Structure 1
Amino acid sequence: MSQHIFGEVGTLIFLAFAVGLDAFSVSLVIGLQKIRLKRIAIISGMIGFQHMVLPAIGMILGQFISSQVGAFTTLLSGLLLFFIGAHIFFGAFATEQKHSPHPYGFGLWILGFSVSVDSFPIGLSFGMSNIQSFLVTITFFIVSSSLTLIGLLIGRRIQGMLGTYSEILSGSILCAFGLAVIFSS
């Protein structure tokens, strides 16, 4: 009995890690911008929150939605990442006074959604099985928040070495990552 529970939890942690790697990759890029520790904590919490909410919604709707949603959410995630990257990239060339490039307000929600949306179909599949929703949502929150925090801190450290080219680099990486997500689906 305990081996079965351990196997379920191990699989869940592995899935949460795999889904959270998107957030880690994107947070590395965001960390390349000048960003304060308070903002890093907020971004990590928001991405973790959305990694918790989207699978929960997926579990609730799991029995009602077909398997076609998985491909759609992957495409949506890729498009959102690409457009966020394009915005950052072209914003680096703007000559007017720029507002802070850090994710704030609605932009932070969009960012969180774009890296968390791939957890929705996992929630759908869990909704059709007997996995406890509390365990899934807490695991996804902890793992994705931790990976985001680590990525932001690493990116922040690297940013000082890159200087003004960090926005161009971060926008280019996000565009490439978005295209990779789109074309891998």
Structure 2
Amino acid sequence: MLVSFQKLIRRNCIHKDEKSEFHTRIDINKLRQAFTQIHSKLKEWNSKSLEQIEEVKPGEEKEIKSLKGEEKKLANYFSRVGDNQKIKRIFFNNPIWQLRVNGKIRIIGILEKDYIDKKFLPDNIKQNSKDLFYVLYYDFEHTSFPSSDQEQPKEEDLVCIMNENCSRYFFLPNETEEED
């Protein structure tokens, strides 16, 4: 399955509020580890077919699942901070799926089955590259559909990595900035 970031919802940092525990931030203490795990999973998924990803082995959890029926909930999360009509079009006009990175991290996106016509692909990659997953957003703390027993990080440990205008935006200054 191929993965694309073309539809990533950028410049939107959602903070918890009185209406919802949902947010798009990450615990600063888990930042490096999270991206190592995400990149490892993306590499793995890229070398598998959708059928292989959907396969559940004994003792393992499902890696991918449809979020059909959850579109309104997801659209409401994002419509608070962005172009309401555009957000609704994204969530209501596309098949929304969730990829499981680990016990907490999820990647929410659009799954286009049989996106790439097999006749244009070389034989050695036909099966693994026919489906396309567009990443919409990262659910770093599994707050889109949380488990009741899941412990959430402290508010002061949550940082934003998607919006440089956010007051909780996290970045690593480069060496030249430190010297000034």
TM over 0.5: no
Greater share of helix: 1
State the TM-score, normalized to the length of structure 2.
Answer: 0.30
Greater share of strand: 2
State the TM-score, normalized to the length of structure 1.
Answer: 0.29
